[in-house]
Structure 1
Amino acid sequence: MPIKLYGFPPSHATRRAAVIFKELDLLYELVPVDMLKDEHKAAGYLAHQPFGQVPYIDDNGFVLFESRAIARYLVAKYASPQKKSLMPTPADPERFALFEQAASIELGSFDVYMNALSWEVIFKRYSGILTDEAIVADLLKTLNSKLDAYEVLLSKHRYLAGDEVTLAELFHLPFGNTLGTMGYDLLTNSSRPNVSRWWKDISSRPSWQAVKENA
């Protein structure tokens, strides 16, 4: 019986979870939640996700929300031996620590600024609110600085946690894609060849291409 993924198909977090299903060749049933109609705020939905956010999964009665937690769960429970490297375990403390470092980098040095930039450039305009260009400029300056640090890391290894792709890379995909659709070349700029090489690598994965537009 497929795992049920409750989410808004174009949302960043829903696609972040969906790409892991695809990466693991794991079947799932997408149960659409229309955020434009506030279905994520309905009582029935809040009973499973009390924060009123997407997505959550129902794996034969086991309910879990937060896209990164979902990703870790899916790998821990369902990954084939060949895919276990997506999430190193404490049995290998050095690789585990490097993975957690990379995952923390994505959350603290990329996601937080991309959330804010998407709000300014996309969601404010969608809501009829004027974009604050000063905030946009400041966010782009910060992101450029963060990606300069990525360049240093990626000059030493193929990926952020070493020479094998991990969940930390895959977590970047939805917002990294949005950065390009907004017209910013921060991930493909020739001044950061290792970041550009890394982004081309991870964004061309078949798992991402399958859910690039919708989960």
Structure 2
Amino acid sequence: MNSGDGPSCECKVGRVSHEYGLDDMDTALTTRWRGEGGEEHSLRELEAVFNRAVLRAALQRANVEVLEGELENTYRLLVDDEVSAGSRTQAENRLERDGVDVETVRSDFVSHQSIHTHLRECLDVEKKRERKDPIESARDTVFAMESRTEKVVDNHLARLRENDFDLDGYDVFVDVTVACESCGRHHDVGALLDAGGCDCESAT
């Protein structure tokens, strides 16, 4: 399924891209994030772009015909928190019958933080801006902190596994949640930055 001699970098995005033969993914992520030739994409949108490409590659490997609308819906059924357990199970069972290893594919999905790390640290990509956007600056700082924390935890777990610590394959995810004191809602910090704040302020 992979192509070439090895991944272009050692982060998860690079490894998964190589494993699934997503040769043009770095270019696609870069141009969409920078808005070259079109509208800028948020990191969460790029997360979905990448993960749908992984799902598409897994379906094609299983010789399953891939239709764009069905692909997007199948991805939604696998990852959307608002999808019922029954609907998700039906989608998983259908994929398994088609020869797709659902758990492997899901474990290969990446987070928006991983996309950000890949763009900034592996590809050294910056957005075109005459002046640094304070929201973008905050996002860079927060996601860099999350990335460093993920690496610290991963390194400690890797060393523990060498000393009989009982843990099979794993992924480390670090998420920062912000609680709005006005309405009590909890927001992922990336989503809050993308939205420009909590919408309870605009409703008052």
Same fold (TM over 0.5): no
Greater length-normalized contact order (CA 8 Å, ≥ 6 residues apart): 1
| Greater strand content | 1
Q: TM-score, normalised by structure 1?
A: 0.29
Larger Rg: 2
Q: TM-score, normalised by structure 2?
A: 0.30
